[in-house]
Amino acid sequence: MLYGTVTEFCTPEECPVMTAGPRFEYLWEDGIKYKRPTKLSAPDYVDALMNWAQAILDDEAVFPNKIGVPFPRNFRDSVKTIMRRLFRIYGHLYSNHFDQICALGIEAHLNTSYRHFYLFITEVISLT
């Protein structure tokens, strides 16, 4: 993801809450460290999200890596939850950092990345 390109702009001071514009505020809950929806700065939210998603991707009970091992019944729900939360990063980038992204000259990369993300999630959703 292109989030790393705006980390000098997306700081706890500049983005004290994970938002996508004035109408959407995202609270973090992972059921382990954060058992209740918790307000985090955008960088902390993204870090928590990436660590949480990586833990799920590494969990062989959710993403089996051996031939013949079935996926769990809730596999699609798990993937949808991951994708929904990753989408929030795009929302934050577009609504809070698009000017910086344009100044860096990487808006075409962001748009292409988002387009691939969107096409992937619409394909996953259409499989259900």
Within 13 Å and on the Cβ side, how many CA atoms surround 54?
Answer: 6
Cα–Cα nearest to 60, from 72, 52, 73: 72
Longest Cα–Cα distance in the chain? 49
Q: What is the number of other CB atoms lying within 10 angstroms of the CB of residue 34?
A: 14
Q: How far apart are the first and last CA of the chain?
A: 26
Query: What is each CA distance from 69 to 12, 66, 77, in whole angstroms?
Result: 42, 6, 18
Q: What is the pTM of this model?
A: 0.90
In tens, the pLDDT along 66-101 reads 999 999 999 988 988 999 999 999 999 999 999 999
Confidence of residue 127 (pLDDT cuts 50, 70, 90): low
